[in-house]
Structure 1
Amino acid sequence: MLPVTEREIRACFVNATLRERNNLTLPADFADLDWDAIDYLGWRDRKHDGVAYVVVRLTDGPVGILLKRADARSRHKSQCSWCEDVHLPNDVAFYGAKRAGKAGRNGDSVGTLVCENFECSANVRRRHPAPYQGYDVEAARAERIEALREHVAAFAARVLDGD
């Protein structure tokens, strides 16, 4: 992902009010982020329980999405819809987002199951053992990275469809 500044982040949210954008808390490690190792920027707000943010770079620039984590937990282990990692070392949560524009103001929303702390970029970059001799581990890894980018962009497009 290309780096984004704090100013760009606060300006790019498509489903948040001005007050919500001004009150968002950046990730604690924002200054030290390895932008080459992430496909989107996602974090939970340290000051507001259940609130999270995702910034994804689309062709027109960065798009920010304010998310709310569902209170209810699944009794079963869920799979992340973005990284689709079957060896998940972390929890998955359901996050909902108001749609952009008039649809969001009318209460229309979309949701997804995603790694609770947004570890998807690390998950798709982990090296898994080759399932058979001759299996191209690096090609499979590149495919997982590209699939993650497509899934996050598709979710952002669903949020933007309300505009």
Structure 2
Amino acid sequence: MKQLAEAAIRDSFINCSKGESRRISLPREVEELPWKHLDFLGWTDPRAPERSYLVWQEGEDDAPIGVMLRHPDRLPGLQRNMCSLCLTTHGSGGVTLMAARKSGPAGRKGDTVGLYMCADLNCSLYVRGLKALPPGLRMEETLTVPEKVERIKSRVAAFIQQVAST
């Protein structure tokens, strides 16, 4: 993913008002993120832990698209669960249902779409082996890292398309 400036990130959100996007707590030191290893930018608001954000950019020349996500407390009682984007398995609390209000009239009516995602939104780092998981949680796959990256990109694009559809 190409490095994005704060203004570009704030302007990218399609399912919240301009006022809401101005109040979003961006990740600290956004310019120091591992941009070359990110397929999307994702973070949880430190002031509102039930709220997360996902910013996607299809191609380097495409405008970024941001989505505000809401999620309940982590999934209770499950031993292991799997992210729908990167297929990384996590112990209890590592995956949560993230729901995004749809954009436009559908969103104003309260329509949402949801997907089970890594609670920390570090899918890009997990598939590249750049963020460690506890022993026994890494699922063995026959896909190469580039194939896993393409899988994440196609799943994020499909999710963004659902949010953007009215």
Structure 1 and Structure 2 fold alike (TM over 0.5): yes
Computed over aligned residues only, the root mean square deviation of the Cα atoms, in angstroms, reads 2.2
In structure 1, the gaps of 5 or more residues are none
**Fraction of identical pairs, as percent:** 31
Residue of structure 1 in register with 2:133 after alignment: none
SS of the residue aligned with 1:157?
A: helix
Residues 52 and 66 in structure 1, CA contact (< 8 A), matched pair in contact too: yes
Give the TM-score taking structure 1 as reference length. 0.86
Q: 1:42, 1:54 within 8 Å by CA — same for their partners in 2?
A: yes
Alignment match, 1:38: 38
Of the two, which has the highest radius of gyration?
Answer: 1
**Conserved in 2, the CA contact under 8 Å of 1:70 and 1:96?**
no
Match of 1:93 among 82, 92, 96: 96
> Following the alignment from structure 2 to structure 1, what is the Cα–Cα distance between the partners of residues 45 and 105?
25
Size of the aligned set, in residue pairs, is: 155
AA matched with 1:66: M
Structure 2 regions of 5+ residues with no counterpart?
131-137
Q: Distance in 2 between matches of 1:125 and 1:45?
A: 24
CA contact (8 A) 2:74 2:95 kept: no
For residues 67-101 of structure 1, give each alpha carbon's deviation from its aligned partner in whole angstroms, at most 9, with x where no partner exists. Answer: 00123624222210000124x47701111000010
Deviations 1:102-126 (A, max 9, x none): 0000111000100001110111112
